[in-house]
Chain A
Amino acid sequence: MASGDSLLTFKPYDNEPPAATFATLDTRNGHPVLDFDTTTGESAVFSAVLPRNYAGGGITVYVHYSATSAVTGTIGWLIAFERIGDGSQDIDADGFAADNTLTAATVPATSGNVDIINVAVTDGANIDSIAVGEGFRLRVTRDVANDTAAGDAELIAVEIKET
């Protein structure tokens, strides 16, 4: 039983940027970060194999981020899974399931402090029905339509945990 277990952690250097509208690799005091614009919904993509200790439940995605300069306002995120699987996705095309929303949260009052917000995603269609041992991708997009913080959002890490 893997409920509560961390399944995977992604860092900025793990990003496989999409062909367009991608978050930009940067550093902040030596910390690798991915910069997400405040007006255009930029994305980062992470790939992995779903580990064998996944027991088939829902998945919670945690996004660790800071704001480049903002000390007021909110930042939100969208995440979507794409099952690559065993013969289930032609990788010459994209097949991400619907976005799941990490509701925009008030940014820390100190711009370099890291906030962690999450969304619990149910098993099944919302995770594109990825099964244990299958390859998949996770796309992370800044939800610029629903957040208010000025300046870039900086992604520090993404954790996937079995709920």
Chain B
Amino acid sequence: MASTNTLIIWRAQDGRPPSANGATFDLRNVHPVLDFDDATDESVDFEGVLPRNYAGGGVTVYIHYCDEAIAGVLLWQAAFERIGDGSQDIDADGFAATQSSASLTVPATSGNVDIASIAFTDGAQIDSIAVGEAFRLRINRDANNILDTLVGDANLLFVELQET
């Protein structure tokens, strides 16, 4: 039973930008980070194979980030794409529906790291990825949402995938 186990951890340098509107790799006090713009939605993709200790439940995506401001609200979005065993033509994208975080009040110290979470139910929300199958996880800052009021870049440090 793998419930609550960490499945995969990605760092900023593990991310791969999509062909357009990609988050930008940067360093902050030599910490690798990915910069997400405050006006345009930017994204990054993380790839993995769903580990064998995944027991078939829902998953929670944790996003470790900080910001360049000390006030405002931020929203993250995430979506899964099952690559699988013959199920996805990788010449096209096939991400499932995007799920959103709550509105996050950023830390009052710009370099302090907040940990956001987005819970996914098993099945369609995770594009029905099965154990041992490859997949992608897309993280997007919902910068054009009127609720995202944070001025300046958001800096992503880590993403953890946990079985809920």
Contacts and interface: CB of A to CB of B under 8 A. Distances in A.
A28 interface: no
Contacts of B147: none
A122 B110 CA distance: 31
For this complex, into which size category does the number of interface residues on chain B fall? Answer: 20 to 34
A93 B160 contact: no
A26 interface: no
Contact of B28 (A45, A91, A134): A91
B113 A86 contact: yes
Given A84-B113, A86-B113, A89-B112, A49 B30 contact: no
A146 interface: no
A95 to B, nearest CB: 10
Interface string B4-35: 11100101010000000000000011111000
Given A49-B64, A49-B160, A17 B113 contact: no
B9 A51 contact: yes
Given A85-B113, A93-B111, A18 B30 contact: yes
Nearest to B163: A52
B31 A49 contact: no
Interface string B105-140: 001011111110000000000000000000000000
B129 to A, nearest CB: 19
Interface of B: 4-6, 9, 11, 13, 28-32, 62, 64, 66, 107, 109-115, 157-158, 160, 162
